[in-house]
Every structure is written in structure tokens, then in C-alpha cells.
Amino acid sequence: MRGIPRTHIVLSALFLMAAGLAHGAAVNTSPETVNLLDAAPKNGISVYWDTLTGSGMLEKDGRRALFHAGDQLMLLDYQKLAIIDPPRIDQGTLMVSLDFMDTITAFFGVDTVPQGGLYRVGAIVIDAGHGGKDPGAFAAHTIGGEKTTVYEKNITLAVSKLLYDQLSKTYPDKKILLTRKDDRFLSLEERVDIANAVPLGEREAILFVSVHVNSSLNNKSTGFEVWYLSPGYRRTVLTGSEGIEDKALLTIFNDMLEEEYTAESIQIAKSISDGLNNQIGSQSPNRGLKAEEWFVVKNANMPSVLVEIGFLSNSQEAALLSDPAYLRKISAGIYNGLTDFVRDFEKSRGFTGFQ
Ligand SMILES: [Zn+2]
């Protein structure tokens, strides 16, 4: 159980508009500058430009460069900064110098693929909710003719261990971690610290999946649901250590990174929801995706989801959740969702020339 959802959170609209919508009229400019919205697509580079915030993104083959009108820093692949000739807005049109075009064509060119090659998922952290002195939700039921108290902490551990075993077998080259392997108490901070302490390669991502069981005062409530971090929450992802002095620029880059983590969290949530639906959809209703600013993920600098696998307050679902065969189905559903996501992530973010 994670607590009562506070609000309905509506997904914010995509923060960047497609380039085609933002075309300005032709303007008189010096010959050294070009309209970025025309010039970039000619080089096979997509442009996303938000006139309201003056921020934009260039994308090609899954690689991205973030920039802001008037600023001389560009963020490459969310990791490296480049000094650029600042783009400027001239009578409503986004203009850049030929130097700027040289910088981005070099960045997106095949001869400048950075060392390390593909984006990949380097680690997956499986967080078994609650444990030790914190039982999570619990309820007494008569299951198979016996009076039994069902504890959330035991179910989350059983599912998490199954998931850990499956993922470890499939991905011997990725770090698969459990926040706990037995019945022990871990604070939320300790869970986040475990995830944030995982060493990663330069182009590696880490995923965080927290497993919980729901409970409701309404003992008719049943079903599974997958939560992701609300886009409304902003955290500091980039720190000043990257050499960014300009506080406003730092805020913009952080917002962009946050959008990226949110987009990926939604993708994982959808993928896990589909995976669970295939495994247990005929036995437990799919309550869909939900967004909230819950603690475990808001301090984890990585795409993160929380899975509520069913309601132990409902006697029929409590009986299912006490059946090892049903927990294997749940684990398989989460596993299928995760591996689908990993495959798509590594494909779309990778450089096809190296595969
Ligand atoms: Zn819980």
C-alpha cells in the first residue's frame, strides 16, 4: 500500500512543439545565418522548438542536443556540454550561424559517435516494498478453509525475488539488484540510496521498480495498477559540477532531463501494465496507469515505477496473492514488461551502425 492518491494529476502537454508548427516567415538576415527549422531537417536532424520558453531540441538516431535561444551552451545526450554560437530569434524565426550548423552536423555525424557506443540499460533495481517492523498492508482472511493473515511485505518479497532470478538469468551483463533479500526493515532513504549508489557506465541507464500490494477500506476493490512519477515534480538532476554557471540554464536543462525521465517512466509503466494484463488480466482487473510524487522515486535520478499488484483487502484477491503459482504469473508479467522496455530502449537509443 502506498497511501491514498492525493489528486488526479493530468499529464502536462509535451513541452516541445514539433518544428513544423513553429515555422516563421522568411526574414532578412545576414548570409552567415540560416533558419534552423529549415537547415536541420536538410541534414536529417529533427528540430523541436518551443517559442514560449525559447528552448529546443535536436534529434537524430536517438541522440539529442538541447539548446536555448541566446545561450552559448548546448547539452549533448543529456551528459556533455558544448560551447556553441548562440541561436537567436530574429523577427520570430530561430536563426543560427553556419558555425552552429558545423557543430551539430559534427555531433550527429557518424564519425563522431562517442566512445562507449550504444545507450543501454546498465542496471535494474527491484525494490520489495516494506519489510521487518513495517509489514505494509495486512488483512485476515479464510483461505482454503484456514484463517490466515496476509502481509504485504511477504508478497512483495516473494514477487521481487522471482523477478530478480528471472532478470539475472536473462541479463548476466546487467546489474540486477534487490533492495532487500529477506524480511528486514529499510527506510525509504535507504532504498533510494541503494539505487543511486549503483555505478554506471557513461551511456548506461538504471531502472527502478518498486513492488507493492494494495489495500482498501472497500473490500470489493480489486486489480493491479502501475504508478510513475508525476511530471509536476522538479528535482535537481544536473548539479553545478558539470560546469554550468548560469542558474537559469541549469533550470532549463533540469526540466528537460526531468521530462526525459518522466517519458521513460511512463513507457516502463505502460509496458509493465501490458505485461501484467497478459498474465493476470483475466483474473484481476487492470486499473491502468497512475501518476504521483511518491518518495521512493522522486529522489531516484532514474526512470522509476511502482507496481501495485493487487488488493489483499479483497478475500478472493488475497487468496490469489497467497498462491505461489499466481505470484509467478505476476512476476512473469512484470518481467515481460521490463524486458520489452529494455529491448525498445536499447534499440531506439542505439546507433544502428554498430548493431
Ligand atoms: Zn506498500
**Closest among 143, 129, 130 to 318, alpha carbons compared:** 143
Q: Please tell me the distance between residue 152's alpha carbon and the centre of ligand 1 in angstroms.
A: 7
Ligand 1 centroid – CA 268 distance (Å)? 19
CA 130 / ligand 1 centre spacing (Å)? 6
pLDDT digits (tens, 9 = 90+) for 152-181: 999 999 999 999 999 999 999 999 999 999
Write out the H or E segment, with its range, that includes residue 192.
Answer: helix 188-196
**Distance of CA 13 from the midpoint of ligand 1 (Å):** 30
Query: What CATH number matches the domain at 120-354, 3.40.630.40, 3.30.70.1450, 3.10.20.30, 3.40.50.10190?
Result: 3.40.630.40
CATH class, 19-112 region: alpha beta
Ligand 1 centroid–CA 133 distance in Å is: 13
Distance CA 334, CA 227 (A): 13
What pLDDT sits at residue 88?
92
The residues of the chain scoring below 70 in pLDDT are 1-31, 110-118, 230-260, 293-301, 348-355
Q: How far is the CA of 285 from the centre of ligand 1 (A)?
A: 19
For 122-151, letters b (16+ CB in 10 Å) and e give bbbbbbbbbbeeeebbbbebebeeeeeebb
CA of 55 to the centre of ligand 1 (A): 39
Q: How far is the CA of 29 from the centre of ligand 1 (A)?
A: 60
Amino acid at 321: L
- The rounded distance, in Å, linking the Cα atoms of 281 and 84 is 52
Q: Measured in angstroms, how far is the CA atom of residue 83 from the centroid of ligand 1?
A: 46
Pairwise CA distance, residues 318 & 335, whole Å: 22
Cα(290) to ligand 1 centroid in Å equals 15
User: Cα(188) to centroid of ligand 1, in Å?
Assistant: 11
Ligand 1 mean position to 120 CA, how many Å? 30
Q: How far is the CA of 134 from the centre of ligand 1 (A)?
A: 10
Q: How much distance in Å is there from the Cα of 135 to the middle of ligand 1?
A: 9
- Predicted confidence at residue 11, as pLDDT, reads 22
Q: Which of 238, 177, 239 is nearest to 210 (CA)?
A: 177
CA of 170 to the centre of ligand 1 (A): 27
pTM across the whole model = 0.68
312 Cα–ligand 1 center, Å: 11
Q: How far is ligand 1, taken at its centre, from the CA of residue 142, in Å?
A: 22
Q: How far is the CA of 136 from the centre of ligand 1 (A)?
A: 5
DSSP run (H or E) holding 78: none
- The whole-number pLDDT of residue 115 equals 43
The rounded Å distance from CA 123 to ligand 1 centre is 23
Domain residue spans of the chain:
19-112, 120-354
Give residues with Cβ within 8 angstroms of 40, minimum separation 6: 19, 46, 47, 58, 101, 104
pLDDT of 12 reads: 23
Distance 213 CA to ligand 1 centre (A): 6
Given a contact cutoff of 8 angstroms between Cβ atoms, the answer to whether 140 and 305 are in contact is no
Q: How many whole angstroms from 215 Cα to the centroid of ligand 1? A: 9
